[in-house]
């Protein structure tokens, strides 16, 4: 029986700017955690004698990556002298200009894939490595690989950084369908580009996008990590693909909506957030809190006060005020015009309404209706 084991990562984005955080100190901490992530993966590879480290693009942020980071990466890779490291460039680390992929001297165990005509054959592992789209030309590369004869008695792995099964919009990087990739007949397809995990399987090919090992933004909620797997080939040329997602990230992003209706000051808002998030708020994590609901015209929210009160409970917090002003309905009851008529009618309906949901709907109707009548728009 033959076998090859691997760890597959993608979209690490070493030295990412993380400028949307607006906090250079925290961005720095996070950047150090990205290199630390690679270090922990390196240790795991050594401990468990893993044959291949597969990196499916966006390994580093070409625009911002520092020479010292590349040096640290090369030191880690040199510790992996028993392992082959295979890298396919992505749209954030393209094979262009002065890319470190071109200008730096990489160890003999590091293979940077740049040409779909070439197949990297690793005899030791009985494995052929293919790639498409390394230079951003997925269509051309796809037809090249499609015309290649795959050996059934070898393991066939494809690396690809691009967009699978998405609407073919112009700005999608390297778009292709999963059906097209399946028709290549690979054993394992190591995808990259989408920062959240996805998994495809047609019974012959297993295709996984591991997502970013450490999440990099509020659109990357949920678990993050990498894929560990093994391909085996029995005497009768029977192949088996085993993979496991290893949740690994040190921090997570959360988007939370909190209704602060009836709160009269910032302290009450902080209490409302605390009681809502009490179980969930982790000192390691990122929170984006959207405040909603209807609050009194007299209360002017000071976001800074709320952030200051919650800052220590988490790694990072940002708060958006999406509340609306609550109208003083009684004021309209005597109004002879359309606003008064509107309020009187809805309030009559409220009196007759028996269900909780119905009353809630009428309250919203009153709020939004008055917003429209007063302001000529609805928030
Ligand atoms: Mn990426």
pLDDT of the residue at 198: 96
Strand 225-233 and strand 2-9: pairing? Answer: antiparallel
The average pLDDT across 314-334 equals 90
* 3-state secondary structure (DSSP) of residue 269: helix
> Distance, CA 12 to ligand 1 centroid (Å)?
7
Percent of the chain at pLDDT > 90 equals: 85
Query: Ion ligand 1 — residues with CB under 5 Å?
Result: 11, 58
> Distance, CA 224 to ligand 1 centroid (Å)?
13
pLDDT of the residue at 169: 66
User: Using one digit for the tens of pLDDT, what is the confidence trace for 326-366?
Assistant: 888 888 888 999 999 999 999 999 999 999 899 889 988 99
pLDDT of the residue at 278: 66
> Distance, CA 35 to ligand 1 centroid (Å)?
16
> Distance, CA 149 to ligand 1 centroid (Å)?
31
Q: Say whether pLDDT at 231 is over 90.
A: yes
pLDDT of the residue at 279: 65
Q: Say whether pLDDT at 53 is over 70.
A: yes
- 201 or 375: which carries more pLDDT confidence? 201
d(CA 189, CA 200): 9
Q: Say whether pLDDT at 38 is over 90.
A: yes
pLDDT of the residue at 224: 98
> Distance, CA 194 to ligand 1 centroid (Å)?
6
* Architecture of the domain whose range is 2-247: 4-Layer Sandwich (3.60)
> Distance, CA 216 to ligand 1 centroid (Å)?
9
d(CA 122, CA 52): 10
> Distance, CA 220 to ligand 1 centroid (Å)?
11
d(CA 257, CA 272): 11
Distance from chain centroid for Cα 41: 19
d(CA 343, CA 97): 66
Please give the mean pLDDT across all residues of the chain: 94
- 250 or 333: which carries more pLDDT confidence? 250
The average pLDDT across 297-302 equals 93
Read off the pTM: 0.90
Helix (H) or strand (E) holding 185: none
User: Using one digit for the tens of pLDDT, what is the confidence trace for 102-135?
Assistant: 999 999 999 999 999 999 999 999 999 999 999 9
Q: What is the DSSP letter of 326?
A: P
> Distance, CA 90 to ligand 1 centroid (Å)?
7
Q: Say whether pLDDT at 168 is over 70.
A: no
* 3-state secondary structure (DSSP) of residue 296: coil
> Distance, CA 212 to ligand 1 centroid (Å)?
7
The average pLDDT across 41-60 equals 98
The average pLDDT across 253-258 equals 95
> Distance, CA 171 to ligand 1 centroid (Å)?
14
> Distance, CA 244 to ligand 1 centroid (Å)?
21
For residue 263, the cross-strand partners are: none
> Distance, CA 3 to ligand 1 centroid (Å)?
30
The average pLDDT across 281-305 equals 94
* 3-state secondary structure (DSSP) of residue 174: coil
How far apart, in Å, are the Cα atoms of 338 and each of 277, 332, 372, 375?
A: 42, 10, 12, 14
Phi first, then psi, for residue 66 (nearest 5°) are: -95, 155
């Amino acid at each position: 029986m033959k076998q090859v084991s691997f760890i597959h990562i993608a979209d690490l984005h070493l030295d990412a700017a993380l400028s949307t955080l607006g906090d250079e100190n925290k961005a720095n901490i996070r950047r150090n955690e990205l290199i630390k992530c690679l270090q922990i993966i390196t240790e795991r590879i050594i401990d468990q004698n893993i044959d291949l480290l597969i990196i499916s693009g966006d390994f580093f942020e070409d625009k911002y990556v520092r020479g010292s980071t590349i040096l640290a990466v090369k030191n880690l890779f040199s510790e992996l002298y028993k392992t082959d490291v295979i890298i396919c460039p992505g749209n954030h680390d393209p094979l262009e200009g002065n890319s470190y992929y071109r200008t730096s001297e990489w160890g003999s165990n590091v293979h940077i894939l740049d040409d779909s005509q070439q197949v990297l054959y690793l005899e030791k592992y009985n494995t052929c490595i293919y790639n498409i789209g390394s230079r951003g030309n997925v269509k051309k590369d796809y037809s090249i690989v499609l015309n290649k004869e795959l050996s059934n008695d070898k393991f066939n792995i494809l690396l690809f950084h691009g967009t699978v099964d998405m609407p073919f919009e112009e700005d999608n990087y390297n778009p292709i369908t999963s059906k097209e990739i399946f028709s290549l007949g690979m054993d394992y397809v190591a995808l990259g580009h989408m920062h959240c995990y996805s998994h495809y399987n047609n019974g012959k090919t297993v295709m996984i996008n591991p997502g970013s090992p450490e999440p990099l933004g509020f659109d990357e909620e949920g678990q993050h990590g990498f894929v560990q797997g093994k391909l085996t080939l029995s005497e009768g040329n029977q192949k088996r693909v085993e993979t496991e997602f290893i949740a690994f990230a040190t921090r997570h992003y959360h988007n939370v909506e909190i209704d602060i209706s009836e709160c009269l000051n910032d302290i009450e808002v902080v209490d409302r957030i605390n009681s809502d998030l009490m179980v969930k708020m982790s000192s390691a994590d990122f929170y984006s809190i959207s405040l909603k609901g209807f609050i009194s015209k007299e209360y002017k929210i000071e976001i800074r006060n709320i952030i200051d009160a919650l800052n220590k409970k988490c790694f990072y917090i940002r708060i958006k005020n999406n509340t609306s002003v609550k109208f003083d309905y009684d004021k309209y009851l005597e109004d002879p015009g359309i606003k008064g008529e509107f309020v009187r009618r809805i309030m009559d309906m409220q009196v007759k309404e028996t269900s909780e949901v119905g009353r809630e709907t009428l309250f919203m109707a009153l709020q939004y209706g008055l917003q429209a009548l007063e302001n000529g728009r609805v928030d």
